[in-house]
Amino acid sequence: MRKEILFFSVFFNLAVLFYYKYANFIVSEFNALFKTNISLAEGVLLPIGISYFIFQGMSYVIDMYHRIKLGRDVENSFIKMSGYVSMFPQLVAGPIVRYEDIEEDFNVFHYNFENIQEGFSRFIIGLGKKVLIANQVSSFVDEAFLDLSIIEGSFLSTWILMLSYTMQIYFDFSGYSDMAIGLGRMIGFQFNENFLSPYRSSSIQDFWRRWHISLSTWFRDYLYIPLGGNQKGQGRSFLNLWIVFFLCGLWHGASWNFVLWGGYHGSFLVLEKLFLHKYLKKISSFSNLYSFVVVLLGWVLFRSENLKEAMIVYRNLFDLRGFDFVAEIGNSHLFFLAIALCLSLFVSMRIQVFFQKSPVFLFFVFVLSMIFLSTNSYNPFIYFRF
């Protein structure tokens, strides 16, 4: 009976996610394929953060089921379960928090001045990432993807565009994660890290150990390992990787571009397991550059609205004829882009922790963030679709 309840719970959660996130996509693809004109009554509006709280709820049920199988105590408190599922700091933009990671915080409430101080410091770091860096490099990205003719024939401007988006998505998402971790700490909960300098990775496998850690570990523990992981031979291991990254791409959105993006990363993971890993060890000084460029090229699929847009960007990235700056790239954009590149590629976690403990630095970042927020209404939230 417990297995049936588990199956029903997982099925129900996935059905809700499928309906809200993929119903419009499935209907539009069906219409295009069979030349029909089916439409949903009033369309389907996507609830903000649905992917996060659905996955979080599923992890809770699955973990409790395994606890029962192992004869361990389970959490029967409806209040604690409700508090876990609806926890506001990370409800909308992650990270995905597993109940076992914060269970002790529910039982022993750590609400004290030290946690408030550390949480507020972490929140300021995240706020600075979002407001002072992500927002500042995003205006050119949005403008260019609205009209790709802006970068037509300009090799240099296209690379600046994709470097800007590469920085935007990292500082935007890691900034929100930092703010969520900080808010959680302030109210007595300690969330796990979600980003560990991912652009300093030495391979794509290493990248996924550092990028959106809560999502990659979720897919590893609840999909890759149950499928057999790497315990059933190399061929099965590669198939499992493909399945995981196909679904990882779909998790990010109802678009073929996201599916291709997932397949793109899955392909590099397979290639690294086959032969690339040993060559990367031999050229370790270039492995970081390899990883960064592969990730950047993948972001083209992730950011483009469709495959046609992606092909335009790819063509411009490898068209060596144009080395001029387009007018939309101002000096201030290049300044913030340079800061973002330095922080993401050369500043270690140890240095980040040092700055996080500097009251002068934190005060400067907080005041500057308030100034930027009050003088500029442009504040994009790029993860709203997830």
Q: Using one digit for the tens of pLDDT, what is the confidence trace for 2-45?
A: 788 888 888 898 888 888 888 878 878 777 777 777 776 556 67
Residues 37 and 148 occupy one common structural domain: no
Q: What does the block give as tokens for 318?
A: 């490898």
What confidence tens digit (pLDDT) does each residue in 253-280 have? 878 899 999 999 999 999 988 887 888 7
Residues 233 and 287 occupy one common structural domain: yes
From 212, 252, 265, 333, active-site residue: 252
114: buried, middle or exposed (CB in 10 Å: 19+, 13-18, 0-12)?
exposed
pLDDT of residue 151: 83
pLDDT of residue 263: 92
Residues 73 and 125 occupy one common structural domain: no
Kindly state the average pLDDT of the residues 313-342. 83
Residues 80 and 124 occupy one common structural domain: no
Distance CA 217, CA 232 (A): 20
pLDDT of residue 213: 93
Angle value at C-alpha 201, between 197 and 205, nearest 5 degrees: 120
Comparing 343 with 33, the larger pLDDT belongs to 343
Residues 81 and 154 occupy one common structural domain: no
pLDDT of residue 42: 59
Residues 63 and 185 occupy one common structural domain: no
Distance CA 383, CA 166 (A): 14
* pLDDT over threshold 80, residue 81: yes
Q: Is residue 269 included in any domain, yes or no?
A: yes
* pLDDT over threshold 70, residue 322: no
Q: Is residue 203 included in any domain, yes or no?
A: yes
Q: Is residue 101 included in any domain, yes or no?
A: no
Residues 60 and 143 occupy one common structural domain: no
Query: Average pLDDT over the chain, rounded to whole?
Result: 85
Establish whether 252 is a catalytic residue. Answer: yes
Q: Is residue 107 included in any domain, yes or no?
A: no
Highest mean pLDDT among 1-5, 52-56, 199-203: 199-203
pLDDT of residue 107: 79
pLDDT of residue 384: 62
* pLDDT over threshold 70, residue 327: no
What confidence tens digit (pLDDT) does each residue in 169-200 have? 999 999 999 999 999 999 888 899 999 999 99
Specify whether the CB–CB gap between 179 and 126 falls below 8 A: yes
Residues 126 and 272 occupy one common structural domain: yes
pLDDT of residue 40: 66
pLDDT of residue 111: 75
Residues 82 and 222 occupy one common structural domain: no
**Taking Cα atoms as reference points, which of 202, 197, 196 lies closest to residue 276?**
202
Specify whether the CB–CB gap between 284 and 200 falls below 8 A: no
Residues 224 and 368 occupy one common structural domain: yes
Q: Is residue 323 included in any domain, yes or no?
A: yes
Q: Is residue 108 included in any domain, yes or no?
A: no
Residues 212 and 350 occupy one common structural domain: yes
Q: Is residue 105 included in any domain, yes or no?
A: no
Residues 130 and 30 occupy one common structural domain: no
200 lies in which domain range? Answer: 114-375
Q: CA separation (Å) from 337 to 57, 141, 289, 331?
A: 38, 12, 18, 10
Task: Out of 26-40, 52-66, 121-135, 150-164, pick the least confident.
Answer: 26-40
Task: Out of 58-62, 76-80, 338-342, 360-364, pick the least confident.
Answer: 76-80
pLDDT of residue 383: 67
Provide the domain count of the chain: 2
* pLDDT over threshold 90, residue 311: yes
Comparing 216 with 87, the larger pLDDT belongs to 216
